[in-house]
Structure 1
C-alpha cells in the first residue's frame, strides 16, 4: 500500500520573510510620522489655549464699566488692564499667562505674553479701539515668537 503524502501546511520561508519586511516598512513609516503628529498636536493645543485667553481678555475689556465723565481713563475689572481716555493711543504693560491660562507676574513661569495696544479713533462715535495680541513663548520677543493670535476690539464706552 502506498503512503499518502500530505501537502505542506503553513507558509514558506520566503513568504514569511516578505511579510515581515512589509510589516517592518509600515512600522518605520508609522514611527516616522509620530513626531510630526505630536508637533501638530502641541501647536493645536497652544493655539486653543491662546484663543481662550484672548476671549477672556476681550470679555474683560468689553465689561469695563462706564466712567464719569464718559470715556475717562480706567482699568478693566478682571485683569486691571489700563484703558486710556477715549481718542488717545497707548499700550499696556505686557501681561503673562501660564500654560493653563492663569495670570502670573513671573515671566519665567509663563507661557503666553499679552500685549494690548490702544489706537486713536477718528470716527464720529467715540469707541475705544484696541489691538489685543497674544504670543508664545513669553520669553521670546514678539517678532521671534513661535506662535500668536491677534484680534481687533472696538469698545463703546459712551
Structure 2
C-alpha cells in the first residue's frame, strides 16, 4: 500500500506529459486543378516564415502527406531541425493518428496536412468537442491538439505568426489563448 501511494505521488509530481500534435495546412500551391501541384512562390515564402514558430514547439518528428505541397511546406523546418518527415497517404488520417499516438506518446510532432482532412485527423487523435471548419482559402490557422495520458484530447486554434500555448519565446512558456 505504501509503495502504491508513493508511486501515485511520484506520478502526480512528475506529471504525465501530453502528446502534442501541431497541425498546419500545406502552403499555397500553384494550381488547384493539379492534384499534386507544387507550392507557388507565396507558398514557398510561407513555408520559410513558418520555421521559427513551428521550431519553437521542439518537435521530435515531422509528418506530411504523400503529396509534394505538404513535403515542400515542411522542408525548411526539416532542414533546420535535421529531421526527415515521414509521409503518409493523403487519405490515411486514421493511420497517421494511430502512428503518432503509438510512436510519440508524451512528445510533440508537427503535421502538414490538407484542409479537407483536418477534422478527420483531429477526431482520430481523440478530440470529441467542436472542431471548426477549415476553409479552402484559409492558410493561417495553426491547430494544436493535446492528448493527455488520461482524459479527453483538446484542440486549440491559433494563427500562424502568433504565439501558441506550448511554444516558447526566449525559453519562456507562452500562455494559452483560447
Normalised to the residue count of structure 1, the TM-score between the two structures is 0.32
- RCO comparison, higher one (Cα < 8 Å, 6+): 2
> TM-score, normalising length from structure 2?
0.30
Larger radius of gyration: 1
